[in-house]
Structure 1
Amino acid sequence: MKAESPVSAQGSGAPEKRQKVLLVGVAFSQADSTGEGTLDELAALADTAGMMVLDRLMQRRESPDARYFIGKGKAQEIADLCERLEIDAVLFDHELSPAQARNLEKLTEAAILTRTEVILHIFAGRARTRQARLQVELAQLKYEMPRLRRMWTHLSRIEGGVRRGGVGAGRGPGETQLEVDRRASRKRVRELERSLEQIQRRKETETGPRKEQLTIALVGYTNVGKSSLMNALTGTGAFVEDRLFATLDATTRLLTTPQKQTALLTDTVGFIRNLPHDLVASFQATLEEVREANLLLHVADVTSEQLDAQMAAVRDVLTELACHETPTLTVLNKADRLPKATALSELCARYDNAVVVSAHTGSGLDQLLTAIDERMAAAQAQVRIRTAPGDGRLRAYLAEHGTVLGEAYSGTETTFDALVGPRVLGRLRQQFPDASITETRKAPVAK
């Protein structure tokens, strides 16, 4: 059997010929009970990438094997399965060193893949905008550059193995090309980073006025229903699909609460356990919406058997983005799939006063909007503004950029009570220097 190209399937649809894959996972602790659950997730990733899972293997070890990552006996078992089932690729739920992958390829004569490679492939297949495509390409290059030697060793084994001991035996056919590829990769990385910086600068210019409005970001594990929740809250039609990583590009819509407060609600790319660092780094521009948000809605699938682990994975990414201290409201979605006897109050208490909702049926959305209202009010300054009678420009500015709580008129002045964000407060003082502005409740420090 000859090893095929690492990932031949299309991330956005079923290919003509689906790769047959074997899943492999390792639990490095007796207390680790997530093994089969993580392989279920790996199977979902493989399916999303257009692969066909034929079998799976799980092993418990104290530490990785230096040669094969898994034990020698298990590696041979995998090789036998590959031959018997005509496996095209072995998909590991862990990162492998180039040497480990090379040794496994030689033993199994199948392509050796990791979850990171599959995730990157799925992202590449689902990227729609130029920014998303450039970000994915950058992540792929950064992941592949340290592994170029393995790729050329693989080529040498296939095309040049007969040269051992003959003319040119000291240099494999890919050795010179390896350096060429490294230089080309480094050059392309610089080009991509420059292009992404230009796109980001243009976006900042286009969206500058948005910074005066409160912003809310939907964050959470992939496929927990963030886009469905956005549609339910805003009445819009963001793309929804029951697949991992259906959303890659940030989508922003206007949210109006029952108390007539307005905010920009942004749906962002879903996170996943062990999300590749290069992918997080490359998607900095898209994830900027998360860092800039005044409030995060951490959406989770309340029916998931891996709920706690998935929520922990999201918190890890938020920490990597340096926004783990941003005010966060936990939203437990898909309540319509819970057993009827489930005690919702206990769930809410267990997850830090979370709100349990169903984006599908609308259950719990009123409570969620009320909670958002409260969080939004807490994120703003409450001000009293006294100005000359008939100052319609100030009234219009407050209506557009804040929430007017009340207004009163006398013969000599007009008084407004309003909620405004920190940035809006500064702009008010700049644009209306003759108005008397008093903070009756201070706002948090602007982000």
Structure 2
Amino acid sequence: MSKTPPTSRPPVVLVGVQFPTVSDTEHAADLAELTRLVHTLGYDAVATVSQRRGALATGTVLGKGKLKDLAALTGGPGVVSSGARDRTSKARAKWEAAQEEGAEDDVPEPFGDGPEAVDAPEEDFDPEDEETSETELDASGPRPTMVVVDHELSPSQLRNLEKATGVPVMDRTGVIVDIFHRHARSHEARMQVEIARLSYLAPRLRESSGGSERQQGRGSGDSAVELDRRKIRDRLAELRAGLAAIEKEQDQRRYARREQLRVALVGYTNAGKSSLMRALTGSEVLVADQLFATLDTTVRALHPETRPRVLVSDTVGFIQKLPHDLVASFRSTLDEALEASLLLYVVDASDPTWPSQLEVTRTVLREIGADVVPSKLLLNKCDRLEEAARDALRAEHPDAVLLSAHRPEDVASLRLDILRFFEASMVEAQLNIPYSSQGRIGEVYEHTTVLAEEYDEHGRKLRVRGLPAAIARLTRAFPAEQTEPG
């Protein structure tokens, strides 16, 4: 267990279980990432409780000894008992009241309520599975007002932990969904996040003290929680219908862009995609040093503009243990990657865990079939590395591009690499455009590069270069003599 200096933010304690297949480095990276997640959410991790186990304890995540260590930090009883329930309810009510006073209107309630469940048994661990560490309590430091667990928990595990610690409990999935909810700006992103949030919340609804009483009037015979779940189901159906309509419009826009050159920036959250997007396109996209700053797909033209134009998309970032419901909700956003001509995998090369972060990105894209799209690896933030470390990366990844999004020369070099990639697949053709069809000349300039231009008594002769699909369409519209690539 470790303690960090107190801050003015609400203090939380992190809980992590290290499984046998997880190395010490990976476990430390997971907890560091969870620290950044809770910081993004507006809290500070002031303590960490970690334990090595073969699996999460069925009822309370941690073994009996570690659970008492955790409760010593939060002031809870350290055991799951009926008397602890009232203390937890009061702590949650007090916490929610404090949140309501200082929170923004669109900040959601914390997750963690679970249905009634059987209390965890007193002995739910094998002492040999537990690695006990020294517990140091700082009486002058802030007492954590919440527990955040680096795993997705069942409703009963959340409930039992709340009873044992006397404070609200969130799991990793709840934290991520909450961050997405706060950062969603567009109507589409808000709908996507609400679907994931309600899907997460529905099984965690529980009865209040009077919840067993039957409702009167419409819906008579149903308990309060049953009515709430029905409302959630109705709202989910409404959201999915609305999202389907938006996705249909997006499909039409993507279809209109099908012949344009499209590059998608993909990668782990906070890898620098938005900074690179701004540098490549000159657009004023949001750049923030926080997780999931970008949730909406932004499409801008490569700057300075080329002919044909190259469109660059900045997509939502990925993270370890990304909730399945979020992946499903953001499927339409991820389709930008599926339909791109080139994927640029952006990683933070200064992060020692970037190989595993890259694998997370590849895994999610593999699930939607985007792994077949041509790609290039970008090792970003190399300005933070020593020259020896950069040399090692070049030797290990000779086809990767080492760069910093903040160095103009690196961005200019990447731009040339992108153009060379598309140039390699382009073909040349001659178009004979009669004077009666001069109104369509803009279409030619939009989708091809005009290499030469001549006039005769019949019209305009253009020597053009472009992608095979665009050239094929234009040559069907105008007499053409197509040549080999070169």
Superposition deviation, residue 231 in structure 1: 1.3
Kept in 2, the 8 Å contact 1:35–1:58? The answer is no
Q: How far apart, CA to CA, are the structure 1 residues paired with 2:390 and 2:31?
A: 29
Deviations along 1:231-281, one digit per CA (max 9) or x if unpaired, are: 111222211111111111111111157975521111111111111111111
Answer yes or no: is 1:384 the counterpart of 2:429: yes
Deviations along 1:85-114, one digit per CA (max 9) or x if unpaired, are: 632211111111222222212211121211
Partner of 2:187: 130
Q: How far apart, CA to CA, are the structure 1 residues paired with 2:189 and 2:468?
A: 31
Q: Which of the numbers 325, 329, 333 marks the counterpart of 1:278?
A: 325
Q: Normalising by the residue count of structure 2, what TM-score does the alignment of the two structures yield?
A: 0.76
Superposition deviation, residue 121 in structure 1: 0.8
Q: How far apart, CA to CA, are the structure 2 residues paired with 1:95 and 1:242?
A: 25
1:232 aligns to what SS in structure 2?
helix
Partner of 1:107: 164
Q: Which of the numbers 32, 51, 55 marks the counterpart of 2:47?
A: 55
Q: How far apart, CA to CA, are the structure 1 residues paired with 2:21 and 2:236?
A: 42
Partner of 1:41: 33
Deviations along 1:178-225, one digit per CA (max 9) or x if unpaired, are: 211221111111100111112222334456532231111111111111
Deviations along 1:141-162, one digit per CA (max 9) or x if unpaired, are: 11222322xx33xx44xx78xx
Kept in 1, the 8 Å contact 2:281–2:304? The answer is no
How has the CA–CA distance of structure 1 residues 30 and 249 changed in structure 2, closer, same or farther, with 3 Å as cutoff?
closer
How has the CA–CA distance of structure 1 residues 302 and 40 changed in structure 2, closer, same or farther, with 3 Å as cutoff?
same
How has the CA–CA distance of structure 1 residues 428 and 144 changed in structure 2, closer, same or farther, with 3 Å as cutoff?
same
Q: How far apart, CA to CA, are the structure 1 residues paired with 2:398 and 2:202?
A: 42
Answer yes or no: is 1:396 the counterpart of 2:419: no
1:343 aligns to what SS in structure 2?
helix
Alignment of 1:28-427 (within 5 A): 28-29=19-20, 32=23, 33-83=25-75, 86-148=143-205, 151-152=206-207, 155-156=208-209, 176-206=223-253, 208-256=255-303, 261-344=308-391, 346-351=392-397, 353-378=399-424, 380-387=425-432, 392-393=438-439, 395-406=441-452, 414=461, 416-420=463-467, 422=469, 424-425=470-471, 427=473
RMSD of aligned alpha carbons: 2.9
Superposition deviation, residue 341 in structure 1: 3.7
One-letter identity of the residue aligned with 1:136? V
One-letter identity of the residue aligned with 1:436? A
Q: How far apart, CA to CA, are the structure 2 residues paired with 1:81 and 1:175?
A: 40
Q: How far apart, CA to CA, are the structure 2 residues paired with 1:365 and 1:61?
A: 46
Superposition deviation, residue 288 in structure 1: 2.3
Kept in 1, the 8 Å contact 2:450–2:464? The answer is yes
Q: How far apart, CA to CA, are the structure 1 residues paired with 2:233 and 2:471?
A: 45
1:74 aligns to what SS in structure 2?
helix
Q: How far apart, CA to CA, are the structure 2 residues paired with 1:335 and 1:63?
A: 38
Superposition deviation, residue 316 in structure 1: 1.4
Kept in 2, the 8 Å contact 1:220–1:226? The answer is yes
One-letter identity of the residue aligned with 2:421? R
How has the CA–CA distance of structure 1 residues 407 and 243 changed in structure 2, closer, same or farther, with 3 Å as cutoff?
same
2:258 aligns to what SS in structure 1?
helix
Unpaired runs of at least 5, structure 1: 1-16, 169-173, 443-447
Kept in 2, the 8 Å contact 1:212–1:421? The answer is no
Superposition deviation, residue 381 in structure 1: 4.3
One-letter identity of the residue aligned with 1:428? L
Q: How far apart, CA to CA, are the structure 1 residues paired with 2:288 and 2:440?
A: 44
Unpaired runs of at least 5, structure 2: 1-7, 76-136, 215-220
Partner of 2:10: 19
Q: How far apart, CA to CA, are the structure 2 residues paired with 1:63 and 1:175?
A: 37
How has the CA–CA distance of structure 1 residues 313 and 191 changed in structure 2, closer, same or farther, with 3 Å as cutoff?
same
Kept in 2, the 8 Å contact 1:303–1:335? The answer is yes
Superposition deviation, residue 229 in structure 1: 0.7
Superposition deviation, residue 323 in structure 1: 0.5
Superposition deviation, residue 308 in structure 1: 0.9
How has the CA–CA distance of structure 1 residues 86 and 386 changed in structure 2, closer, same or farther, with 3 Å as cutoff?
closer
One-letter identity of the residue aligned with 1:51? Y
Kept in 2, the 8 Å contact 1:29–1:61? The answer is yes
Deviations along 1:381-418, one digit per CA (max 9) or x if unpaired, are: 41423425666456532221123345567888835241
Kept in 1, the 8 Å contact 2:270–2:291? The answer is yes
1:224 aligns to what SS in structure 2?
coil
Answer yes or no: is 1:438 the counterpart of 2:430: no
Superposition deviation, residue 328 in structure 1: 0.9
Superposition deviation, residue 338 in structure 1: 1.4
Kept in 2, the 8 Å contact 1:355–1:364? The answer is no
* Segment drifting more, 401-410 vs 85-94: 401-410
* Segment drifting more, 24-33 vs 107-116: 24-33
How has the CA–CA distance of structure 1 residues 225 and 273 changed in structure 2, closer, same or farther, with 3 Å as cutoff?
same
One-letter identity of the residue aligned with 1:140? R
Kept in 1, the 8 Å contact 2:307–2:448? The answer is no
Partner of 1:14: none
Pairs aligned (count): 406
Superposition deviation, residue 363 in structure 1: 4.1
